[in-house]
A and B are shown apart, each in its own frame.
Chain A
Amino acid sequence: MIVEDAITLLSVQDLTASVDGTQILKGVNLEVKSGEIHAIMGPNGSGKSTFSKILAGHPDYTVTGGTITFKGQNLLDWEPEIRAREGLFLAFQYPLEIPGVTNSEFLRISCNAVRKHRGLPELDLLDFGDLINEKLKVVDMNPSFLQRSVNEGFSGGEKKRNEIVQMAVMEPVLSILDETDSGLDIDALKIVSQGVNQLSNAHNATIVITHYQRLLNYIVPDFIHVMEGGKIILTGGKELALELESRGYDWLTEE
């Protein structure tokens, strides 16, 4: 929702970036204010995941130009873990499996790292247990997943749910959901979308990256951006999704 007196959470200007010497982002501009929901769409390989990983601080990508300001500060000054603790969250398109680390341990360490940074007392096993049971409800996830290794053997959809559990635990101010909808069945899509909606409020913001208009029926965006060739080439309202759905992307570059 667009709210009055919203503060600018993220401001990206003329961002260019490369990986292994290949220029991928070629001047991205984006401004996200608190309370807003943005969607980024665009053809395969246009740079959406690259953009999100750069925001999260992935070491493989080199920012070659432009600025990223997060909550008024230079995001690029911060290591990935500081970005996360400051409230930037990325739900990965392909969440990793970490055999040998239990989900509950992982979530608790993550939760306490964030809490410590924010000046909140760390939670012991018992208090964390209470908290996590609440958070699991956000996406209706079975507590038995806590005892399993992080994402190991999880189905595609279960991994995506697990990402949202992490998001719920970390209470971010800016969440970037990279194709969280892909791999979810019809019911799960509803549940996860409701979870995301439940977590959004006037003080935080969400960027959803998706290929499908269907998600945007559940998570209704205030803005839709089209990324193509490492740039945002068009920004519109939620009605743009329907147009893209019927016309594809070609007409945008042909004009």
Chain B
Amino acid sequence: MTSEVKQLLKALQQRAEATIPRLVFPNTKQEEWKYTDPSALQSIRWQTALPQFESTVTPIPEAEFALVFANGTFIPDRSVVEPGELLVLGSVLTDNSSASLLSAHLGKYTDDWDMLSQINSSSCEDLSLIYVPQNYADGTIVALHYLNQGQHSASHPRCLVVLAPHSRLTIVEVHQGNEDVYWANPLTEIYVGEQAVLNHIIWQHQGLSAFHTQTTRVVQAKNSFYQLQTIDVGAQLSRHNLHVQLQGDATSTTLQGLVTIGANQTSDTYSTIVHSHPSGRSNQLHKCILRDHSHGVFSGQICVTKQGQLTDAQQMSRNLLLSPHARIDTKPQLQIVADNVKCAHGATVSQLDREEQFYLQSRGIDPVTATNLLTYAFAGEILQNIPIASVREAIVKLIFAQTIV
């Protein structure tokens, strides 16, 4: 029976329901929401989304596992799950063996004071779970496809990823949907065990009317390696709350974000890395390509506690404004208590280089292609690191197709 699992979920929900009344909905008076106004989210009466879908799943042939969710609900007959050593569950309700993992990790890494996570927890009837056993390092790729639609429908999918020591995995989340005004509020909790390696890709390609608020909570054990690439393309308003917490020495963390938006889109990345153990290395690069009246926001906290000696933390925010109406707010924040650390951060805002554009034109290349080529070049540094060829190529194509006028 799955009653133990159900009880754990119930406990999570109840805890959230008890907390929510004590929280205020995110608003621009809060420091964390200074640059992005989420009030539109509150003005809509959201309905629980039904598990329907029309969109086709973006194929990722390299992925051995593909979990498909329609408005947050797992769709088994669209999914590909290979039985084997790796535990990949689209729904934990189907497998009682997940209970011990859930009780060890579920809800342990989230922030009780964060409204969006609590909303996710309070509606958590089910979740997906990926568990990589010790020493399992086959280069396996797991794809999570989140399909969304439905006017005023809200979904709060949740996923728990646990890597046992010395294991290795690549996961790619794809969030997509149609032109309805829907809200996706996914939350992913990740535990990377000792010496484990996780490559994580989040490809946010929601419909242009959508709201996308995503929370990623990562905990890294000793000597572990976590690499995240986020590609933000869709949604009228997207917000990514990213939090990396260290639980051991000598961890390595690479965070790369690429935002490419236009029209009236807003994309806000709010990230925090807490170096609370010695000798951690983190490297963060966030790049925004902003067209039309779009608005990019990047707030990057790096906290180095007293225990975080010999931390090496690098952060860079680079922004390309392709329109005089586009706006960027970028705010790196270092809070360093330890005294023996190497930390650096920086931010740049630029426009396309006229001389480069002219150089390309003088070689017969029209201005639109020239702009796309230079934009692509700006993004290339991140794109070329995406470890899955089909995803990399699809995103490259997408960026080339975004013609600028």
Contact A114 B381 (CB under 8 A): no
Contact B361 A81 (CB under 8 A): yes
Residues of chain A lying within 8 A (CB to CB) of residue B362 = 56-57, 80-81, 83-84, 90, 92
Whether, in the assembled complex, B33 has its beta carbon less than 8 Å from a beta carbon of chain A, the answer is no
Give per-residue flags for A159-194: 1 if the beta carbon is below 8 A from chain B beta carbons, else 0: 000000010001000000000000000000000000
With A81-B366, A109-B369 known to touch, is A98 a contact of B377 (CB < 8 Å)?
Answer: yes
Whether, in the assembled complex, A13 has its beta carbon less than 8 Å from a beta carbon of chain B, the answer is no
Q: How far is the CA of A67 from the CA of B168 in the complex (A)?
A: 68
Q: How far is the CA of A170 from the CA of B365 in the complex (A)?
A: 11
Q: How far is the CA of A166 from the CA of B364 in the complex (A)?
A: 11
Q: How far is the CA of A134 from the CA of B358 in the complex (A)?
A: 27
Q: How far is the CA of A96 from the CA of B363 in the complex (A)?
A: 12
Residues of chain A lying within 8 A (CB to CB) of residue B360 = 98, 106, 110
With A59-B354, A81-B366 known to touch, is A99 a contact of B361 (CB < 8 Å)?
Answer: no
Whether, in the assembled complex, A33 has its beta carbon less than 8 Å from a beta carbon of chain B, the answer is no
Whether, in the assembled complex, B61 has its beta carbon less than 8 Å from a beta carbon of chain A, the answer is no
Q: How far is the CA of A200 from the CA of B277 in the complex (A)?
A: 67
Q: Which of B354, B356, B364, B381 touches A98 (beta carbons < 8 Å)? A: B356
Q: Which residue of A is nearest B366, CB measured?
A: A81
Whether, in the assembled complex, B355 has its beta carbon less than 8 Å from a beta carbon of chain A, the answer is yes
Give per-residue flags for B345-384: 1 if the beta carbon is below 8 A from chain A beta carbons, else 0: 0000000001110111111111101000110111111000
Q: How far is the CA of A109 from the CA of B371 in the complex (A)?
A: 13
Smallest CB separation, A174 vs chain B (Å) = 13
Residues of chain B lying within 8 A (CB to CB) of residue A99 = 377
Whether, in the assembled complex, A101 has its beta carbon less than 8 Å from a beta carbon of chain B, the answer is yes
Residues of chain A lying within 8 A (CB to CB) of residue B355 = 96
Q: How far is the CA of A109 from the CA of B356 in the complex (A)?
A: 15
Q: Which residue of B is nearest A88, CB measured?
A: B362
Contact B354 A101 (CB under 8 A): no
Residues of chain A lying within 8 A (CB to CB) of residue B373 = 101, 105-106, 109
Q: How far is the CA of A99 from the CA of B378 in the complex (A)?
A: 8
Whether, in the assembled complex, A77 has its beta carbon less than 8 Å from a beta carbon of chain B, the answer is no
Q: Which residue of A is nearest B375, CB measured?
A: A100
Q: Which residue of A is nearest B379, CB measured?
A: A100
Residues of chain B lying within 8 A (CB to CB) of residue A105 = 373
Contact B364 A117 (CB under 8 A): yes
Contact B381 A100 (CB under 8 A): yes
Whether, in the assembled complex, A137 has its beta carbon less than 8 Å from a beta carbon of chain B, the answer is no
Residues of chain B lying within 8 A (CB to CB) of residue A59 = 354, 358
Whether, in the assembled complex, A38 has its beta carbon less than 8 Å from a beta carbon of chain B, the answer is no
Contact B361 A100 (CB under 8 A): no
Whether, in the assembled complex, A7 has its beta carbon less than 8 Å from a beta carbon of chain B, the answer is no
Residues of chain B lying within 8 A (CB to CB) of residue A117 = 364
Q: Which of B365, B367, B378 touches A100 (beta carbons < 8 Å)? A: B378
Q: How far is the CA of A90 from the CA of B365 in the complex (A)?
A: 14
Q: How far is the CA of A101 from the CA of B379 in the complex (A)?
A: 10
Give per-residue flags for B68-85: 1 if the beta carbon is below 8 A from chain A beta carbons, else 0: 000000000000000000
Q: How far is the CA of A92 from the CA of B380 in the complex (A)?
A: 26
Q: How far is the CA of A85 from the CA of B354 in the complex (A)?
A: 20
Contact A80 B361 (CB under 8 A): yes
Q: How far is the CA of A99 from the CA of B373 in the complex (A)?
A: 11
Q: How far is the CA of A91 from the CA of B168 in the complex (A)?
A: 50
Contact B376 A58 (CB under 8 A): no
Contact A100 B363 (CB under 8 A): no
Whether, in the assembled complex, A1 has its beta carbon less than 8 Å from a beta carbon of chain B, the answer is no
Whether, in the assembled complex, A123 has its beta carbon less than 8 Å from a beta carbon of chain B, the answer is no
Whether, in the assembled complex, A79 has its beta carbon less than 8 Å from a beta carbon of chain B, the answer is yes
Residues of chain B lying within 8 A (CB to CB) of residue A100 = 376-381
Q: Which residue of A is nearest B380, CB measured?
A: A100
Residues of chain A lying within 8 A (CB to CB) of residue B358 = 57-59, 80
- Among B354, B365, B379, B381, residue most surrounded by chain A Cβ atoms (within 10 Å): B365
Residues of chain A lying within 8 A (CB to CB) of residue B361 = 57, 79-81, 84
With A96-B355, A96-B356, A98-B356 known to touch, is A166 a contact of B363 (CB < 8 Å)?
Answer: yes
Q: How far is the CA of A110 from the CA of B369 in the complex (A)?
A: 10
Residues of chain A lying within 8 A (CB to CB) of residue B378 = 100
Binding site for B on A (CB under 8 A): 56-60, 79-81, 83-85, 90, 92, 95-96, 98-101, 105-106, 109-110, 113-114, 117, 149, 166, 170
A-B CB proximity, top 8 nearest: A100-B377, A100-B380, A84-B364, A80-B361, A113-B364, A110-B363, A81-B361, A114-B364
13 interchain pairs (CB within 8 A)?
A: A59-B354, A60-B354, A81-B363, A81-B364, A81-B365, A81-B366, A100-B377, A101-B373, A105-B373, A110-B365, A113-B363, A113-B364, A113-B365
Q: A96-B359, A113-B366 are in contact. List 9 more A-B contacts (CB 8 A).
A: A57-B358, A85-B364, A98-B356, A100-B378, A105-B373, A110-B364, A113-B364, A114-B364, A170-B363
Binding site for A on B (CB under 8 A): 354-356, 358-367, 369, 373-374, 376-381
